[in-house]
Structure 1
Amino acid sequence: MSSRSPVHRARKRFGQNFLRDPGIISRIVRSIAPRPGERLIEIGPGQGALTEPLIEAAGALEVIELDRDLIPGLRVQFFNYPNFAIHEGDALKFDFAALKGDGPALRVVGNLPYNISTPLIFHLLATRDAVADMHFMLQKEVVERLAASPGGTDWGRLSVMAQYHCRVDSLFIVPPEAFTPRPKVDSAIVRLVPHAELPHSADDEGLFADLVREAFSQRRKTLRNNLKGRIAGEALQALGIDPARRPQTLSVAELVAIANHLARENA
């Protein structure tokens, strides 16, 4: 059994809300299903609520923690686990590809602060080859956007880029009372599994990312107006896409088709 870390007051600037509910913690760990021999990385372990059951199941765990005041407590709490390692730093700037090195792909987990969740997901998608899967607790509306389908109001840049790179599964809701202090919104658990082979492959992923950003920057405009100067209405029609449609109606496959047309034109 581990020793308990000293009491730490949650810091608003780090977006800290500490998970307390044992039933929720158990359900999250069952969803992750860690096994010995895997390379498990926890982002923002906080006071170790998820950390202990994860390391018990996997036998080894590395954590990334930005709050220096939490690190001594974590060292004390997990001093008797020889395969526990702490990386002090900002996950948004962390080199996950370098961390993987020549070893197995990383299984990344975390209760992510609301204020960094979207940029951190984009950061991890950029190094998806280093990642086996990701399990995150996020604000419920972020999970809804990640798992959205074309046509709805939740469908946008985050949905498209996440689903281009990964299979996205929304797992279950976590209510505010599971945390201390209580957040003002519901949270949810999401699983992202990078595709072994992309279902729709962009010839130029940088161009594809730029196109998606541009398309959703003015969601209410039609494609004819939104992508004016990028692609003509006649070219969209040739791809089987009505220029009068709006960006939120386009599937990943259709956006990839537009990007690939542009890549061929630019070649």
Structure 2
Amino acid sequence: MTKDIATPIRTTEILKKYNFLFKKSLGQNFLIDRNILRRITETAGLTKEMNVIEIGPGIGALTEQLAKVSKQVIAFEIDQRLLPILSDTLYDYDNVAIVHADILKTDIMQVMAEHFEDTTAPLKVVANLPYYVTTPIILQLLHAHLPIDTMTFMLQKEVADRISAIPGTKSYGSLSIAIQFYMKAELAFIVPKTVFMPQPNVDSAVIHLTKRKTPAAEVNSESFFFEVTRSAFAQRRKTLWNNLAVRFPEIKKQKDKITSELAAIGIDLTRRGETLSIQEFALLSNFLGKFCEQI
């Protein structure tokens, strides 16, 4: 029998052995195609000199492949029922640490210090993310200021499209900007729903995020910048002015002045948010930030 976990036969055997029942609330869909897993590790560009963080290892199918090609792996699993299964399936890999924790409520730096022998090694994040918690996890990792080089995720194709979208497209929005501000996003390949157990309703995609040396644009306040971008997409069919005036009502009394001064730097408030680049949003937020301070 093949050692790889990610086959229909081996996965079924493991699930039967432990009488495991899937929890829909945890978005549990296990990969049963080892070729897809190998493509994920290739996309991540892993070597034996690199440490890896994984989120949601399930029964260890991806974890197994990560352990084969990296230095050490820390896998965060929230479902306690999976811990004995992982101890069994990953028994042969002494470079894997399974941490029973919700990564959204965990001090990741502390966990890394406890489990990685070499915390100076390049750090990658690779995961098959549950659909229901994809965005919070990615944003948490971005804002935790971890020394991450790249992140490679398999997630719902629609979300992957939004993350990698460019201005002027239907998928482009505040999520695109929130991630591309820090990372370069590349949609690597599509994963059909037929390679999962149980089979989800939609296809997935693997996206590769590479950390920028510096953010995509210069902003006076990152928190205000993201507030402006979220406001600009509050109602996609409305103009920038209409959306921003709802969030920042103090600007309404000086519409003509604001419109004129922004037009001078190339920002037309009759445009919709989806047409602005990250750099244009930076100009807009820097201007509004100073303007609101002076009121």
TM-score by length of 1: 0.93
Map Cα deviations across residues 42-95 of structure 1 (whole Å, 9 max, x no partner).
111101111111101114211000010001111122233222111111122233
Secondary structure of the structure 2 residue equivalent to 1:103: coil
Q: Are 1:221 and 2:238 an aligned pair?
A: yes
Change (3 A) 1:56 1:245: same
- Equivalences, count: 267
Secondary structure of the structure 1 residue equivalent to 2:238: coil
**Segment of structure 1 superposing worse, 26-35 or 201-210:** 26-35
Secondary structure of the structure 2 residue equivalent to 1:26: helix
| Number of the residue aligned with 1:67 | 79
| Number of the residue aligned with 2:50 | 38
The answer to whether the 8 A contact 2:216-2:278 is kept is no
Change (3 A) 1:45 1:225: same
Map Cα deviations across residues 146-172 of structure 1 (whole Å, 9 max, x no partner).
111111111111001111110000000
The answer to whether the 8 A contact 2:55-2:129 is kept is yes
Secondary structure of the structure 2 residue equivalent to 1:149: coil
* Distance in 2 between residues matched to 1:186 and 1:44, nearest whole Å: 19
Aligned-pair identity in percent equals: 39
| Number of the residue aligned with 1:188 | 205
Give the Å deviation of 1:235.
Answer: 2.9
The answer to whether the 8 A contact 2:267-2:284 is kept is no
Q: Are 1:90 and 2:102 an aligned pair?
A: yes
Secondary structure of the structure 1 residue equivalent to 2:205: strand
* Distance in 1 between residues matched to 2:71 and 2:266, nearest whole Å: 52
Secondary structure of the structure 1 residue equivalent to 2:171: coil
| Number of the residue aligned with 1:117 | 134
Map Cα deviations across residues 2-41 of structure 1 (whole Å, 9 max, x no partner).
8978313321010000000122122112112311121211
| Number of the residue aligned with 2:254 | none
Change (3 A) 1:113 1:230: farther
| Number of the residue aligned with 1:159 | 176
TM-score by length of 2: 0.84
The answer to whether the 8 A contact 1:239-1:258 is kept is no
* Distance in 2 between residues matched to 1:218 and 1:241, nearest whole Å: 19
| Number of the residue aligned with 1:147 | 164
Q: Which amino acid aligns with 1:151?
A: G
RMSD: 2.0
Could you say which structure has the larger radius of gyration? 2
Give the Å deviation of 1:201.
Answer: 2.1
Change (3 A) 1:259 1:56: same
